[in-house]
Amino acid sequence: MPQVTLRINGADHTLDVPADMPLLWALRDKLNMTGTKYSCGIGQCGSCTVLVDGEPVKSCRRLAVNMAGKEITTIEGLDPSGGHPVQKAWNELDVPQCGYCQGGQVLAATALLKNNPNPDDAAIDEAMSGNLCRCGTYVRIRKAVKLAAEIAAGDGGAS
pLDDT exceeds 90 at position 76: yes
pLDDT exceeds 80 at position 58: yes
| Predicted pLDDT of residue 155 | 72
pLDDT-derived band at 156, boundaries 50, 70, 90: low
Render pLDDT for 86-135 as a digit per residue (tens, 0 to 9): 999 999 999 999 999 999 999 999 999 999 999 999 999 999 999 999 99
Helix axes 102-115, 121-128, angle to 10 degrees: 130
Q: Where do the domains of the chain lie, and which CATH numbers do they carry?
A: 3-77 (3.10.20.30), 85-154 (1.10.150.120)
| Predicted pLDDT of residue 71 | 98
Render pLDDT for 11-41 as a digit per residue (tens, 0 to 9): 999 999 999 999 999 999 999 999 999 999 9
